[in-house]
Amino acid sequence: MRFRITVLSSFVRHLRWRDFGEISPRGQWKPRWLIARGTSFFCVFLFYALFSFAIDWEHDLKAALDKAKSVKKPVMADFFATWCGPCKRLNDETFNDSKVESLTGEFICVKIDVDENPDLVRQYGVRGYPTVIFFDENGRVVGQSIGYRDAAFFTPVMRNALEKAGKLEKEEIKSQKPAAGTKTISSIAKPRIVEQKIKRGPFELSGIIFSSNNPKAVINDNVVGVGDSVDGAKVLNITETMVKLEYNGDEISLGLE
């Protein structure tokens, strides 16, 4: 939304009075194209700038699940608190990413204020904020993300939920022969996503997004890769089930079951 407001304000800022009209030699006001012919264009631009790709949030989980069953779409439910900093960051940054916004079109999206819905918090075992829970069209939980996650982490989580809900369409491979050395879509492995809290000393591993060329791990709510540092430790290696850290000269292994 911040980008759309910036684009709109930039457009308005560059308007000049002479774009609207001029005074004729007889002293009459003569409107120019912007008003006489361009009103519809401006309205379309205004609508696009403010509302294009915006996520259409609902606020009633039961109604969203009922709707999911009738339209055969999965549900993405964001459990948030108005006082929660990571919740605001997820909303302002991750949910405003173009790739995330595009994928939300595959879901019925609902925001749940945890302070107003304590029964739902207990029902779904929500213990940290924000928590995003994914449901299939029948109300079965097919995925979950806890805490702030950037778009690079959150997009594969959404795709994983769509796949578990049976809604991820297979990407079409172009019939043209690819150039030599080019990988086709079918040859690129999908990242494997594992979320499970494992704590050892001052470090908590809560997730791994494993791909052979760029594995990532979530340690102490930070998304890190091999060679990165987190809270004084250096990430040495990331596998599908384990992360190795170097901390104060010692090696620490954080493993997922």
The residues assigned a catalytic role are 84, 87
Alpha-carbon span 194 to 256, nearest angstrom: 8
Q: 47 phi and psi, to 5 degrees?
A: -60, -45
Alpha-carbon span 143 to 159, nearest angstrom: 10
Q: Which residues contact 229 (CB under 8 A, 6 or more apart)?
A: 235
Strand partners, 217: 208, 224
Q: At what angle do helices 39-51 and 2-13 cross, to 10 degrees?
A: 150
Buried-exposed string 88-104: b where 16+ CB fall within 10 A, e elsewhere: ebbbebbbbeeebbebb
Q: 136 phi and psi, to 5 degrees?
A: -80, 180
